[in-house]
Each structure stands twice: as C-alpha cells, then as structure tokens.
C-alpha cells in the first residue's frame, strides 16, 4: 500500500515487536482499515499505522483525519452489510463487509477492537491483540485435506503491511 500511496501512510512503532499471529488475517484487517481511511478520510491528511506494546498485548491503531463517525453509528459499524449514512450517501462504493471481516479477524485472535472518532481528534480504529495467539488457533490437521494454521512472528510495523505476501 505504501508503494501506491507513498508518504501519505506513516508507520510508527516504539520498538520491534514479536507476536504469534496469523499474518494473512492481520494483513487483511490492516489493509481494510487503511483502505477505509483512504476512502473516507481527509484526502490531504496522512494516515498513521501505529504499533505499541502494552503488557502482553500489541495495540495496532489506524488513524485518519476527516469527518467523524457519528457516535450513534459506531455500535453498528461491524455488522454485516452495514454502511454508515455518510458512506451510503457518498461516492465510495462498498458492500459493508470490510469491518465485519476486521472484527472477525480480531475475534479469531481473541482480541478486541475499538473505535474513537471526533471532529477534534479524527478517527482511530484500535485493534488490541494478545502477543501470543497460539491458543486461539488449533495447530495441526483436523482432516487430511486441511492445512494447519500456524501463526507467524511479526517483528515491526513496516512488516505488518507486507506480511502474508512472502513466507516469514
């Protein structure tokens, strides 16, 4: 995404972080949040992806400036096929499934997702994930046709956006 949007997307992290996650799923969730920030945020303002370790969890925040999400719509954002009133009235197309996917990814990792949105501070989608999600996935084969799910170690914010595109 940074190749396409260049300096508009800013990555910040205090230090390298190591976590056991499903890289493909986390990458998809982050891509969705960044895509939404691009579609619905201020076209001139940067989008930030911040990685912060808090105890045994990692907090991943995607932040953008622009019109806030009305408080009464936040509780429905993660519902399947739901789009905010502004999104429905705007020119950006969508099915209302992206944030449902993000919520599912976070839940699969036994994490939580929060939304903070105000005119003064912009909009932040905050995923809080345990550093070690191996217990959230059953590692191993359940049938002879299924591949095992094996969480992967992620080391820094720059790797978050590219993970899943090459073996780690």
**H or E segment at 36?**
helix 23-40
Question: Where does residue 87 fall: left (phi above 0), alpha (psi -120 to 50 degrees), or beta otherwise?
Answer: alpha
- Residues 105-124 have pLDDT tens digits of 999 999 999 999 999 999 99
Predicted TM-score (pTM) of the model is 0.78
pLDDT at 49 over 50: yes
- Residues 75-107 have pLDDT tens digits of 888 888 766 667 656 666 666 678 999 999 999
Q: Strand locations in 32-154, DSSP E? A: 47-54, 57-64, 112-118, 122-130, 152-154
């Amino acid at each position: 995404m940074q190749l396409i949007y260049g300096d508009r997307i800013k990555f910040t992290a205090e230090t390298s972080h190591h976590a056991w996650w499903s890289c493909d799923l986390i990458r998809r969730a982050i891509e969705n949040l960044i895509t939404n920030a691009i579609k619905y945020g201020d076209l001139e303002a940067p989008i930030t992806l911040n990685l912060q370790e808090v105890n045994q969890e990692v907090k991943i925040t995607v932040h953008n400036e622009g019109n806030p999400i009305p408080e009464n719509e936040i509780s429905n954002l993660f519902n399947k096929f739901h789009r905010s009133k502004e999104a429905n009235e705007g020119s950006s197309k969508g099915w209302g499934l992206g944030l449902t996917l993000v919520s599912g990814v976070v839940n699969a990792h036994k994490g939580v997702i929060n939304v903070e949105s105000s005119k003064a501070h912009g909009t932040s989608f905050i995923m809080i994930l345990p550093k070690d999600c191996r217990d959230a996935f059953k590692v191993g084969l359940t049938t002879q046709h299924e591949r095992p799910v094996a969480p992967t170690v992620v080391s820094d914010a720059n790797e978050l956006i590219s993970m899943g595109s090459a073996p780690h």
